[in-house]
A and B are shown apart, each in its own frame.
Chain A
Amino acid sequence: MIQIRDLTEADVEAVYQLEKKIFKSDAWSKQNLIADSQASHTHYFVAEENQEVVGYAGLSSPPGSFQADINTIAIAESHRRQGIAHQLVERMIHMATRNGAENMFLDVRADNLSAIKLYESFSFDQIDVRKNYYQPAGVDALVMRKRISQPLVMGIETSCDETGVGIVRGNRLISNALNSSMEIHARFGGVVPEVAARAHLEALKPTIDSALSEAGIEISDLDAISVTNGPGLSGALMVGIGAAKAIAVAHDKPLYAVNHLVGHVGADILERGSLQTPSIALLVSGGHTSLLLVRDLLDDVELLGETIDDAAGEAFDKVARVLGLPYPGGPEIDKVAINGNPQAIRFPRGLNLPKDMAEHQYDFSFSGLKTAVARYVEKAEDSSEEVQVADVAASFREAVVDVLISKAVKACIEYDVPRLILGGGVTANARLREVAKLKCDEAGIELRIPKFSLCTDNGAMIASLGAQLVMAGRKPSGLGFGSESTMDVSKVQSL
């Protein structure tokens, strides 16, 4: 029984022996083999029979290149003509598709007719010839290409106060239409669920229309629809769910119900063309403050911690109100904090004491901080002192940013994850970006902050997560799912 699996470090010696036997003087050195098979942008597979490596293949697919190359493929002499190469190629096509490749390339000896036939059976076409490529025999190399049709997916997002409809093709952003009800919420000092839900219904048609016209496509061109079904405000979520289900039925398209928070992580795929894992994700908005460990976007997302009271964005809104600044508070506090001293007042850092570490190492709390700011301001006002708004804003902002970034960086170090993705509306905060950059540079962590239109709630990130599910060959969600306002991050897709 032949088994195809990922190559591990323990296979390198066996693969090297096969490489030497098959390619003789052209064989790669062991160092080259180790380097290439362990590079972050390659995927090596081995074919194994009775615990013996009888074949291997290597695929290269640099992030954001939208292409994949078959670097090598070899089968032991004794095991040829058994369909092993077929299985390896199939596995590489699957991997290339999942990685967002739109074209797959390979070189093959012009005299290797059985290999050429195999590739042709997978719809590889010859696009070029490299004359006398294989020396010393002087045999030509044929360059072959397979086009991979990545799925065109529309995503619908209505979990809070933004009506988002986005369209992606595989890992590529095609369009991202948005209508926000933020201004209506301003007079209430925060998002009012019923007001948000009403606004979604009114924004639905115009947002769908702009996403389609911006993309220059028809709905019938779509391969799938995806929709946020949690976490979020129930009444708001249901507007998107109703719309998505109707489109799915109206056009007989598969429908994927996906997790809003995981969608935020999926946004980075559209920015760089692929998602690097593992990754720590810090999602901060008016509704969420969550720290995630993403080992695999579709199968292994773990919640390391979250806020136990107010979301970070909510804290900004509330403190802005205390300081007499308008809603939303984030940008307003950012503005006045520029002229303030962040060290002027030492506001408390929530859940940051040694005693908190056992249970709340990666959790956040901003309610106490907000109260501390209010007390400070009230005390000053009561004694008729002038409140130094700039200093209060800067010191408050510093406290929030300090806790957020310290915990995120700590998680990267503890879990040995070399990258941090930021998402959510609070990523617009200038100081958050600044401190994140500084601390990540210090710790040798790669910092990813997608552009703002992909950081705030949007439909494209939901389309992106839907596309990943399609590319991985996952089953659609069917029509029976509902909204789940408190959905767990480990549930990427509702079935």
Chain B
Amino acid sequence: MILAIDTTAGTTAAVVDKQQVLGFSEFEDRFGHAENIGNAIEQALQQAKVAAADISSVAISRGPASYTGLRVGMAAGIAFATSRSIPLVAVVALDAVATANPVENSEQWMVVSDAKRGEFFSCRYSGVDESGLAIRFSEPEVLKPEQVEKYSDLARVDINSDAKLIGMYAEKAIEAGVDLSDATALYLRSPDVTPSTKKRVTG
């Protein structure tokens, strides 16, 4: 039984077992991740009528997404798994969305999400494998508006990721033997800083 956590948009937590969502909790506030993460997990467990001890693994969404919110869910998932000594897996949110929303009869499609500054997090997919997982055609990347334009003929999915999708994807992927052990955040951008230089105070 998987506890899934996703804070790429709002704050969501889900308990997933055998592709069934047993419990799901969602807080839509995109600036309230730190406030809501505890209640989201607790409510998902309560709704599923399971105890924390019944959870056998944790799946977190590793982005890409807005950094600060993303980290809250990842920190929670890492801490939950560490503290209960259960396995942790991490899912690229775009993969989970693509797998849940394959575009049929289409050679290629792309999943996009808002990356702020007019840019988009994006990944292109082509078909699904025998386990039902969307097959990547590109790596997850940040696209400028004009780059998105280049793919205007591709079918586009812009659904937000959530914990249900993360949990269901993780379950399928684990079963298929996909390696989801990289639990680092997928920021896709470097921190916005430049090394310091010495500035004069006198003119």
Which residues of A are in contact with B by a Cβ distance under 8 Å? Answer: 187-190, 192, 194-195, 197-198, 200-202, 204-205, 208-209, 219, 234-235, 237-252, 255, 321-322, 324, 371, 374-375, 378-379, 479-483
Contact = CB atoms under 8 A, between A and B. Distances in A.
Interface of B: 32-39, 41-42, 45, 52, 67-68, 71-80, 82-84, 184-185, 187, 191-196, 198, 200-202
A219 B84 CA distance: 8
B82 A201 contact: no
**Main SS at interface, chain B:** helix
Given A243-B76, A481-B35, A482-B32, A219 B198 contact: no
Closest 4 CB pairs of A and B: A189-B196, A479-B38, A245-B38, A242-B75
Contact of A249 (B42, B187, B191, B193): B42
A255 B191 CA distance: 32
Max count, chain B CB within 10 A of own CB: residue among A242, A247, A480? A242
A371 B202 CA distance: 9
Nearest to A194: B191
A484 to B, nearest CB: 10
A-side interface mostly: helix
Contacts of B184: 201-202
Given A246-B77, A249-B42, A374-B201, A187 B195 contact: yes
A374 B199 CA distance: 9
B202 A205 contact: no
B180 to A, nearest CB: 16
B78 A188 contact: no
Contacts of B84: 219, 250-251
Contacts of A479: 38-39, 42
B42 to A, nearest CB: 5
Given A195-B193, A201-B185, A235-B67, A246 B83 contact: yes
A186 to B, nearest CB: 10
Given A208-B82, A235-B71, A246-B77, A251 B38 contact: no
B83 A250 contact: yes
B196 A250 contact: no
Contact of A321 (B73, B77, B193, B198): B198
Contacts of B37: 241-242, 245-246
Contacts of B41: 245-246, 249-250
Contacts of A243: 75-76, 78-79
B71 A246 contact: no
B196 A242 contact: no
A479 B44 CA distance: 14
Contacts of B79: 204-205, 208, 242-244, 246-247, 250
Contact of B34 (A190, A195, A238): A238
A198 B185 contact: yes
A187 to B, nearest CB: 5
Contacts of A197: 67-68, 71
Contact of B71 (A189, A195, A242, A379): A242
B38 A239 contact: no
A252 B52 contact: yes
Most B-side CB within 10 Å, residue of A234, A238, A248, A321: A238
B169 to A, nearest CB: 20
A378 B67 contact: no
Contacts of A247: 79-80, 83
28 contacts: A192-B191, A192-B193, A197-B71, A198-B191, A200-B71, A201-B71, A205-B79, A205-B82, A237-B34, A238-B34, A242-B74, A242-B75, A242-B79, A243-B76, A243-B78, A246-B41, A246-B75, A249-B41, A249-B45, A249-B52, A250-B52, A255-B38, A374-B201, A375-B202, A379-B202, A479-B38, A480-B39, A481-B35
